[in-house]
Amino acid sequence: RELTVQLGERSYPIYIGEGLLDQAAFYFDKHGIGKQSPLLIVTDEQVGRLYLDKLESGLRAAGYRTVSAVVPAGEQAKSLLQFEELITIALKAGLDRKSAIIALGGGVVGDLAGYAAAAYMRGIRFIQMPTTILAHDSSVGGKVAVNHPLAKNIIGAFHQPAMVLYDLETLRTLPPREVSSGLAEVVKHGLIRSAEFVAWIDENADKLRALDPEALGYALYFGCRVKAEIVSQDERENDLRAILNLGHTIGHALEAVGGYGELLHGEAIAIGMVGAARIGVELGAPREVYEVTKRVLAKCGLPVRLPAHFDTDAIMDAMRHDKKFKEGRMVFIVPTAIGDVVIDKNMSAERVRRIVEQLKEEEQ
């Protein structure tokens, strides 16, 4: 399957299919990645062990020069320290303005490598090769960043990739918990744009969890399409793009309070989406919005209840660090129907607090 992210001169293709890792050289060549300048492949230890040799040998056989950087697996790799490390490797390998940096991995590798590509020589080309379900979201749209000890994703840029090459075969080695975490963003794309797609996930959740190639290919294509459409209309998040943050205001706070270890990103936003649905119903959406949201997320193997030991004050404090929090009010994405949301720019922190408390009482 193939899609285009429409952004004028910065438009780029997304290829989704099986066996694309082996054909990387073909696609690179097709999109003008030259063989004169070296390429830097960034991956993490886990993904590197599984797929780096395959990618490198294919590229080298086709005449590309490659160097690789293998970072530790996990969120800690999104740091200024790792960023500097990548720049060192890039300099030593002689990467120039015609070089490209390739991200082979999940959202962590994509965000880190993308930020290095955005900054190195004020920006060189960047290719996303996602290997997680979650990365169907993070690899599209050009938001790249590393974390600061005080705040996640706070050092970043907009830097669109030249191409997204999504080999679904790599997903077969994903741990089940990572599969479910990634499905949370798939569900999110349905909840903001398509009731039909949500109904389809409701029917096919088991197949998705079992990585059925047909079902997964369709779901990831649909998810990428929703993301691509929204990014095309509002690349820099002036307005519309904010709807992609459904479940994230609460979710990011839960990740922070859990020390970025207890809850995976998708798990945290799943709980956040249940909270958002509850708020939607309070504000007049049909009760089905809450029921369907919760049911579909649970079918995907996601938590819908907030573990009781999460401290509500700490969660509210974490939300205050959010860029969009001011005087007890925040920007919050509120579902109005399945497949539809609105951006509430004046949500009361008090209401959110009450909902967070209720999330500890949800039936799992």
Q: Which residues bind ligand NAD (CB under 6 A)?
A: 44, 46-47, 50, 73-75, 78, 105-109, 111, 131-132, 134-135, 137-138, 141, 143, 153, 170-171, 173-174, 178, 181, 265
CB of 147 to ligand NAD, least distance (A): 8
Q: Is the dihedral of CA 25, 26, 32, 34 positive or negative?
A: positive
Task: Clarify whether 98 is annotated catalytic.
Answer: no
Task: Clarify whether 143 is annotated catalytic.
Answer: yes
CB of 109 to ligand NAD, least distance (A): 6
CB of 363 to ligand NAD, least distance (A): 26
Under 8 Å between Cβ of 304 and 364 = yes
CB of 3 to ligand NAD, least distance (A): 16
The total of other beta-carbon atoms located within 10 Å of residue 115's CB is 26
**99 vs 138, which CB is nearer to ligand NAD?**
138
**37 vs 132, which CB is nearer to ligand NAD?**
132
Task: Clarify whether 136 is annotated catalytic.
Answer: no
**Residue 223 corresponds to which tokens in the numbers above?**
């998810």
**50 vs 343, which CB is nearer to ligand NAD?**
50
The residue of the chain with the least Cβ separation from ligand NAD equals 107
Under 8 Å between Cβ of 104 and 46 = no
Catalytic one of 252, 278, 294, 299:
252
Which residue, among 140, 72, 151, has the nearest Cα to 108 in the 3D structure? 72
Task: Clarify whether 148 is annotated catalytic.
Answer: no
Task: Clarify whether 227 is annotated catalytic.
Answer: yes
Catalytic one of 193, 248, 278, 294:
248
Give the contacts of 201 (CB within 8 A, at least 6 positions apart).
183, 186, 187, 190, 208, 219, 296, 299, 300
What separation in angstroms does the CA of 186 have from each of 128, 182, 191, 201, 342? 18, 7, 9, 9, 19
Catalytic residues: 122, 143, 185, 227, 237, 241, 245, 248, 252, 265
